[in-house]
Amino acid sequence: MDVWNRRSFLKAAASVTALAVLPRPLRAQPGASPGFVDVSLEAQQGWINVGGRGSYLYGFNGQVPGPVIEAKPGDHVRVRFRNRLQEATNLHYHGLHVSPSGNADNSFLEIPQGEDLTYDFDLPVSHLGGTFWYHPHMHGSVARQVARGLAGVFIVRGELDQIPEIANAAEPVLVLQDFDLTDSGLPVEPGLMERMLGREGGLVAANGQVNPQILIQRDGWIRLRILNASSSRFYRLRLEDHPLYLIAVDSGALPGPEAHDEILITPGERIEVMVRGARPDGSYRLLSLPYNRGGMGMGMMGSMGGSSSQTTVLATVVYEGQAARTWDLPQQLVRIDPLSSPTVRRSFQLGQGMGMGMGMMGGGGMNFSINGRAFNPNRVDTRVRLGSVEEWEFINATMMDHPMHVHTNPFQVVGSDGLPVRAWKDVVLVRANSRIRVRTEFREFAGKAMYHCHILDHEDLGMMGVLEIQA
């Protein structure tokens, strides 16, 4: 494995941009009471520096990715949102367990161009700590708006922040995005075939930078929060010579750290990993290894995905300095109570609406669906009872992977032994030609929400359903 030494690293420094620090987190505005997070976000198109050059993208407050918002369980959150795009948009607070109604996390809202909307919601006192995020959810435009840069991290402090061995570590945040830009920095709109596969861009950025540095002290630890904010690209992560100690996924912490050589992170997913500075001083690349997420099952088109055959360098972990002391990770992190047995079981058949024998260019190609139906915001597909526990099976008989996501309540994935895995997730990868079950309890909030594939082109093309939680 080619580890760079400091000398060769300095030579290569021109291709490595500054430290991977995200823009300063937004904070409660002066005068706001404790427990009240009050932030302003403005979506606007403009020239934004991505990968070291001007790109004509969409930013929140002029930044790609958007600013980090930080809150605690029990906080009231207010987001004063201004739409300065030339098109309608809205915001979704991905993974937050908050009300899906009114002016809370309501993905049915549409904010016309030039208009404002103030989002208001309460984080329950029992909310899980974790790495969440915000992004537009304007049906039909989600992939384009997110792929142009609209995504930001929303951190909820929680159980892990009470554990000194974790809380004392430096805490870099990495937002992974990919962009398809012309030489002059203008965004390229994909054609229908690319949308069906899920658009990918050749410019892969972490915090808007190509291969930024992440500093680590020898014998020290970092707690790395990683968000896959790409429309479609999967990242199969490996850090040269370092195990990744997974401590949290999507919506919350794990019962104990798990050492991994590689972790696959699909669109919408988040992980928190601990990395120990236990190797010789030097630079170690955080790589995304080849992964094949399948195709339309039509030979030639299957090769259009783009991410399957290349290794990409996402960032470089650079040793600098020596930690004053070192420590081990505790073997126990949090307790996750089991869900009670499900009273209702449902299945969801994912469809690409492109039957064999249908013409490639036929209208059927547009019809991504769940249980045979494409998304219709005016129809309720699934009615559930508030307080009930259900088991859902996602059945993927297509030739392409579909990472499925459910709003409002996290779930536990059912393992091969039939028991739920103790981890709260809100996106689950349903690989091509496979099926997977998840269990969830509909807690606290009634209202209408959505479930969908988080390959955002698939969502836009109709692979989304409406869930109504009835009190």
Q: Which residues bind to ligand C2O, rule: CB under 6 A?
A: 92, 94, 135, 137, 268, 405, 407, 450, 452, 454
Dihedral (CA of 128, 133, 138, 141) sign:
negative
Residue 404 three-state SS: strand
223 binds Cu ion (CB under 5 A): no
Burial zone of 14 (CB within 10 Å; 0-12 exposed, 13-18 middle, 19+ buried): exposed
Longest dimension (CA), the chain: 66
Q: Are 414 and 392 in contact (CB under 8 A)?
A: no
Instruction: Find which of ligand C2O, Cu ion, none residue 195 binds, CB within 5 to 8 Å per kind.
Output: none
Letters for 89-108 (x = contact with Cu ion by CB under 5 A, - = none) are -----x--------------
Closest residue to ligand C2O using C-beta atoms: 94
467 binds Cu ion (CB under 5 A): no
* Continuous segment of H or E residues that includes residue 299: none
Instruction: Find which of Cu ion, ligand C2O, none residue 137 binds, CB within 5 to 8 Å per kind.
Output: ligand C2O
Could you tell me the smallest distance in angstroms from the CB atom of residue 315 to Cu ion? 25
461 binds Cu ion (CB under 5 A): no
Q: Are 185 and 54 in contact (CB under 8 A)?
A: yes
- Based on CB atoms, which residue is closest to ligand C2O, 407 or 437? 407
Could you tell me the smallest distance in angstroms from the CB atom of residue 131 to ligand C2O? 13
Could you tell me the smallest distance in angstroms from the CB atom of residue 250 to ligand C2O? 11
458 binds Cu ion (CB under 5 A): yes
Cα distances (angstroms) measured from residue 226 to each of 51, 133, 274, 413: 18, 11, 11, 20
Could you tell me the smallest distance in angstroms from the CB atom of residue 6 to ligand C2O? 40
Nearest to 412 by CA among 234, 252, 227, 229: 252
Instruction: Find which of ligand C2O, Cu ion, none residue 455 binds, CB within 5 to 8 Å per kind.
Output: Cu ion
Could you tell me the smallest distance in angstroms from the CB atom of residue 244 to Cu ion? 25
Tokens (6 digits) for 19: 């430290």
Could you tell me the smallest distance in angstroms from the CB atom of residue 455 to ligand C2O? 11
Could you tell me the smallest distance in angstroms from the CB atom of residue 410 to ligand C2O? 13
Helices within 158-221 (DSSP H only): 164-167, 192-197
Rounded Cα–Cα distance for residues 246 and 72 (Å)? 22
Rg (CA), the chain: 21
Amino acid at 318: V
Instruction: Find which of Cu ion, ligand C2O, none residue 276 binds, CB within 5 to 8 Å per kind.
Output: none
Rounded Cα–Cα distance for residues 66 and 39 (Å)? 12
Distance in Å from the first CA to the final CA of the chain: 56
Could you tell me the smallest distance in angstroms from the CB atom of residue 268 to ligand C2O? 5
- Based on CB atoms, which residue is closest to ligand C2O, 240 or 269? 269
- Based on CB atoms, which residue is closest to ligand C2O, 266 or 396? 266
Instruction: Find which of Cu ion, ligand C2O, none residue 223 binds, CB within 5 to 8 Å per kind.
Output: none
Q: How far is CA 102 from the centre of its chain?
A: 24
Rounded Cα–Cα distance for residues 350 and 389 (Å)? 22
- Based on CB atoms, which residue is closest to Cu ion, 17 or 412? 412
- Which value, to the nearest 10 degrees, does the dihedral of the CA atoms of residues 249, 254, 259, 262 take? -20
- Based on CB atoms, which residue is closest to ligand C2O, 111 or 215? 111
Instruction: Find which of ligand C2O, Cu ion, none residue 402 binds, CB within 5 to 8 Å per kind.
Output: Cu ion
- Based on CB atoms, which residue is closest to ligand C2O, 315 or 456? 456
Instruction: Find which of ligand C2O, Cu ion, none residue 425 binds, CB within 5 to 8 Å per kind.
Output: none
Rounded Cα–Cα distance for residues 50 and 45 (Å)? 13
225 binds Cu ion (CB under 5 A): no
Could you tell me the smallest distance in angstroms from the CB atom of residue 153 to ligand C2O? 12
402 binds Cu ion (CB under 5 A): yes
Which residues from 425-454 bind Cu ion, rule CB under 5 A? 453
Strand order across the beta sheet in which 69-71 lies: 69-71, 152-156, 130-135, 92-94
Residues contributing to the site for Cu ion (CB under 5 A): 94, 402, 407, 453, 455, 458
